Structure 1
Amino acid sequence: MLIVCGVGDCLLGSSIHWSQTAAETSASLSVEISSYVLLAKLSSSPTAEDLGYASGIVRWLTTQQNQYGGFSSTQDTVVALQALSLYSSLVFSPEGSSTVTVQTPSSQLTFDVNPDNKLLYQEKMLQNVTGKYSLEVKGTACASVQISLRYNTPPPIDASSLSLEVKPQSDSSGKITKVTLSLLSQYNGKDASTNMVILDIAFLSGFIPDPQSLKNLERAQLVDRVEHKDGHVVVYLSEVRPISSSEQDMMTDNLLIKLSLTKGVPVNHSLVLLQQIPVQNLKPAVIALYDYYQPSDRAEREYIAANQ
């Protein structure tokens, strides 16, 4: 799929972006940080020099967009689109036209970008994907061109830096069957700690969380907040620390950074589920642990009541 959209100004020069660490592991976090820098740069009467500098940030941000115009997560998408919209409003010009010609292995595709359609999304499907492509632009308007290619690859063995252990313990001695989930989360990646991590606990069919157990979970180690919705308990794991002196040198405000699991340090949590409705042939449920900014970095485990 080939996508062309008109934009207000050409992005010249090299791209610019920021990351939390030198060894970046989360493109989503880099998108969010860079977007905040762009917003700060453009929020107070930017000069022509500021706009030129900002174009380097915009160049990098546009390379991170997916084929739908979004980014890796809801949070980075909201901030990035706000920053890109502000930049576009400052550099937009209704004048100018261009013709974008794409030479594919089997045919030639042409897109016209002019004052009547420069804000419209144009898309054409590629019939023969494999091969060499060339692109030529003629005119005075600038256009953003993106090629989207989808393919499948087998997952690498032990690719995740997160690990999760689940030990369910069933108790049917009382009037209501209870299942106590003992959860052990651990990070074993190359960084000292993770970003915010999500622990998503799906319930067994017919079970609900014990209210007191939920309250205890909200006060547990590293728990920022807990949400109960749609047959899941979603636990946000993070802790807040001040930014370091080296990080302060790059920023004008005294900010706080949310971190989560420390490398090699196991974190334990528990949740009690109560059987509300007996269900025959009960199927296992899934618990997932994943990086909020990089959901592909995840660990999943199935569980079921011991006596089912």
Structure 2
Amino acid sequence: MRAEWRYSCRSQPVPGPRVRPRSSRGRSRAVPASWFKTRDRVFGQLLDDPIGYGACAEYVVTSEEPKEGVLVRIPDGLDFATAAALPTAASTALGAVDAVNCGSGEKLLIIGATGGTGVFATRIAAARGVHVIATAAPQADAVVRARSAQDTVDYRARPVGEVVADRWPHGLDGIVDLVGDVAAFEAAAHLKDGRNAVSIDFAATEELQKSGRIRAVNHVHDDKLNRITEVGRMAVEGTLGIVVERRVPLGEAAQAFERNRRGGARGKTVIDMTAG
């Protein structure tokens, strides 16, 4: 299971080392441009030089408009730790759910529903009235149901496509893949005509993309400013049901990365610069 890693920070105009996490929260400092004031609470996705693909430090330097990322103000009512868990995972989930375009009462299979992005995708889809079917190992079944999935598929016991064909013989209305599971994504063969199969991790093969019966796409994280602003609003409203599984100090960041790489995440890991 892939995972994203979050941290808490403050920013200042000095260069720093390139380090791994992409999503951040903190207060702006010494900003000459017009969008933010000094001490504004901000969060977003940092994909820009000199940071590279993210940052994990007490102070971070970035532009107001990172080349590929984005910074926005943290809305009132949202704390720093929660804000740090949002930008990449929640906005990616929102983009994927928007792209699959399932409506109230329609059946959506989410592959990778137990991870950080999957939790958000499940919550967002369920808030729209979508019937969410989540892939999950038996030990995670109760967890994903508590997070608004209505049905589960044990991807370890049988091929996901076989289970879908048996349990939903009239077909699904959409599929979202969050983990690059090409084999599970083949359940797209059981979509209704004209419906969407969306992967954020390149599970949509060229053959599947050429299908004239359904639309299969590898979705790229887009419209970041509006999506990150929207997930901030949704977090304040309580739609996302954010799960911060671990808060660790910077000194334990390496161990936290390794735990997440091994899989089994059930929520977000926040690296807190004020802790420990």
How would you bin the TM-score normalised by the shorter chain?
A: under 0.3
Q: Which has the higher helix share?
A: 2
Query: Normalising by the residue count of structure 1, what TM-score does the alignment of the two structures yield?
Result: 0.24
- Report the TM-score when normalising by structure 2: 0.26
